[in-house]
């Protein structure tokens, strides 16, 4: 019963937001509440919801002040020299800008933190996209694809969870995955090239009627907020913030709160200027924060009602023993939808142990199962259960449902490219 309700809840949610019958924020809150009531959890509903909100609260606070901080840095012109340098190199070519977005995402993603990658890459590249009139959905797509492949790094999250579950170390699980990641990176760069080529043709065709070009009134506001004399101060402040994050000097939310206050006061010392800047970006920060806390309600109900555990157990039970030779490939193929519909914790700590036990019984190795379980990460970051996804769409200024529809086929391509690479090098056998 819980399994059916869990899958039904997710399917109804995805249908309603993809068809735009409900706004994602209201769907994230109302749909799970209705299903929880139907499942008979009315008495415990309040505590289940609050547990979900409490778990997501630090992330929500960090994203609010992270958006505000990087928005101030963009307004003040911190990234202008980088933007001008890239423009000089790419010479206004959308293809080069798209490929550059992919390469920058891959490099920045080496720190293993998705939220940081999104903030830095969007801050650096969005002004370029606006100047040329490129579709911001292309930006969000390329960044998500690069982040999905690089999320396999041991310090990124999924691999660490898989290593814990399988009792393997990085040399045993991650090192064999490097060629697989390389296959994913090749796909990301190819996708960026193809999308850039499409944008180049569209921009040439539409000319001045390009709906993504920056409007004159927006350009005037941007010029008024520039603080070219404070670039070095802003750069130092950003470096100190990143250092604090890397060395865990303070909780991430606290670091962003402090950096935001300092950046706001120094760049815009007058109170009316501060109010103007806050009003300019408050809508974006509130939009992302509300989605984060709503996602906390969604995941809290999935976990607190036991739906997630029931879904995990049922998925394993449907694999027949006669499919033993294909089990690692089936694991790889199924890891994409499973990690889309479930959190990484639920998948790697709840489902992977069952998959591993079944796989070993059917003759597969722990390495094959571990590698196969990571291939779905190409799709995972598109999930509505991933908080940083709302940060990406908020920063890029696109709708969540539009982002999923635009990016899904390319994300599936990432997982397919990694599966093909794993088969070619013999990491996964068939």
Q: Is the dihedral of CA 350, 384, 405, 114 positive or negative?
A: negative
Q: Which residue has the tokens 């891959």?
A: 106
- pLDDT for residue 335 is more than 80: yes
- Which among 388, 404, 406 has a CA at the least distance from the CA of 122? 388
Please indicate, yes or no, if residue 207 is contained in any of the structural domains: yes
What was the pLDDT predicted at 321?
59
Mean pLDDT of 245-250: 77
- pLDDT for residue 221 is more than 70: no
58 band by pLDDT with thresholds 50, 70 and 90: confident
What was the pLDDT predicted at 189?
95
What was the pLDDT predicted at 98?
92
With contact defined as beta carbons under 8 Å apart, do 398 and 156 qualify?
no
Please measure the distance between the N-terminal and C-terminal CA atoms of the chain and give it in whole angstroms: 34
Please indicate, yes or no, if residue 347 is contained in any of the structural domains: yes
Q: What is the CA radius of gyration of the chain?
A: 22
- pLDDT for residue 216 is more than 60: no
Q: What is the pLDDT of residues 167-207, one digit of tens each?
A: 777 778 888 888 999 999 999 999 999 999 999 998 888 77
What was the pLDDT predicted at 376?
86
**Most confident segment among 58-67, 232-241, 341-350:** 232-241
- pLDDT for residue 121 is more than 90: no
Tell me the residue ranges of DSSP E strands in 68-210: none
Task: Name which residue leads in pLDDT, 359 or 221.
Answer: 359
User: Looking at the 3D structure of the chain, how many domains does it have?
Assistant: 1
What was the pLDDT predicted at 73?
83
Please indicate, yes or no, if residue 208 is contained in any of the structural domains: yes
Average pLDDT, rounded, for the chain: 82
Q: Choose the weakest-confidence range: 75-89, 364-378, 415-429.
A: 75-89
- pLDDT for residue 411 is more than 70: yes
What was the pLDDT predicted at 213?
60
Q: What is the pLDDT of residues 412-427, one digit of tens each?
A: 999 999 999 999 988 8
CA 260 to chain centre: 23
Please indicate, yes or no, if residue 153 is contained in any of the structural domains: yes
Mean pLDDT of 369-380: 87
With contact defined as beta carbons under 8 Å apart, do 418 and 179 qualify?
no
350's CB contacts (< 8 A; 6+ apart) are 308, 309, 312, 342
From residue 189, alpha-carbon distances to 116, 149, 173, 408 in Å are 21, 11, 25, 16
* CA atoms of 180 and 168, how far apart (whole Å): 18
- pLDDT for residue 327 is more than 90: no
Ramachandran angles phi, psi of 311, nearest 5°: -65, -40
Please indicate, yes or no, if residue 430 is contained in any of the structural domains: no
* CA atoms of 83 and 124, how far apart (whole Å): 7
What was the pLDDT predicted at 317?
63
- pLDDT for residue 78 is more than 90: no
pTM: 0.77
Percent of the chain with pLDDT over 90: 17
- pLDDT for residue 312 is more than 80: no
- Which among 127, 97, 166 has a CA at the least distance from the CA of 367? 166
Residue 171 burial (10 A CB sphere; 0-12, 13-18, 19+): exposed
- Which among 357, 367, 352 has a CA at the least distance from the CA of 165? 352
Residue 175 burial (10 A CB sphere; 0-12, 13-18, 19+): exposed
- pLDDT for residue 113 is more than 80: no
202-233 burial code (b ≥16 CB/10 A, e <16): ebeeeeeeeebbeeeeeeeeeeebebeebbeb
Please indicate, yes or no, if residue 191 is contained in any of the structural domains: yes
Q: What is the pLDDT of residues 250-262, one digit of tens each?
A: 887 888 899 999 9
What was the pLDDT predicted at 333?
86
- Structural domain boundaries enclosing 159: 1-425
């Amino acid at each position: 019963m819980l399994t059916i309700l869990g899958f039904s809840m997710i399917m109804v949610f995805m249908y309603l937001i993809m068809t735009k019958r409900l706004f994602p924020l209201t769907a994230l809150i109302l749909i799970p509440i209705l299903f929880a009531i139907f499942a008979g959890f009315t008495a415990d509903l309040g505590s289940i919801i609050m547990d979900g909100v409490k778990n997501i609260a630090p992330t929500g606070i960090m994203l609010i002040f992270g958006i505000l901080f990087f928005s101030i840095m963009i307004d003040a012109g911190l990234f202008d020299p980088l933007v001008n340098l890239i423009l000089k190199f790419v010479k206004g070519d959308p293809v080069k800008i798209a490929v550059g977005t992919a390469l920058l995402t891959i490099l920045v993603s080496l720190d293993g933190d998705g939220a940081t990658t999104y903030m830095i890459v969007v801050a650096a590249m969005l002004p370029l996209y606006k100047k040329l009139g490129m579709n911001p959905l292309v930006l969000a797509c390329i960044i998500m694809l690069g982040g999905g492949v690089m999320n396999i790094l041991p310090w990124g999250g999924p691999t660490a969870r898989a290593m814990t579950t399988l009792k393997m170390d990085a040399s045993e699980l991650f090192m064999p995955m490097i060629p697989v990641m390389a296959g994913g990176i090749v796909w990301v760069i190819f996708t960026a090239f193809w999308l850039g080529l499409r944008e180049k043709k569209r921009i040439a065709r539409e000319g001045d009627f390009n709906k993504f070009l920056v409007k004159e009134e927006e350009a005037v506001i941007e010029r008024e907020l520039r603080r070219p004399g404070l670039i070095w101060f802003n750069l130092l402040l950003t470096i100190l913030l990143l250092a604090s994050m890397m060395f865990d000097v303070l909780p991430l939310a606290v670091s962003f709160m402090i950096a935001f206050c300092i950046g706001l006061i120094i760049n815009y010392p007058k109170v009316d200027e501060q109010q103007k800047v806050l009003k300019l970006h408050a809508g974006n920060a509130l939009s992302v924060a509300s989605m984060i806390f709503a996602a906390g309600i969604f995941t809290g109900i999935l976990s607190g009602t036991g739906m997630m555990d029931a879904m995990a157990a049922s998925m394993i039970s449907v694999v027949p023993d006669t499919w033993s030779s294909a089990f690692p490939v089936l694991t790889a193929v199924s890891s994409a939808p499973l990690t889309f519909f479930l959190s990484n914790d639920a998948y790697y700590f709840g489902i992977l142990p069952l998959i591993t036990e079944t796989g070993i019984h059917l003759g597969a190795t722990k390495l094959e199962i571990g590698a196969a379980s990571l291939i779905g990460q190409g799709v995972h970051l598109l999930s509505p259960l991933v908080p940083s996804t709302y940060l990406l769409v908020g920063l890029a200024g696109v709708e969540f449902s539009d982002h999923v529809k635009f990016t899904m086929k390319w994300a599936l391509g990432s997982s397919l490219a990694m599966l093909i690479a794993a088969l070619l090098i013999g990491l996964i056998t068939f």
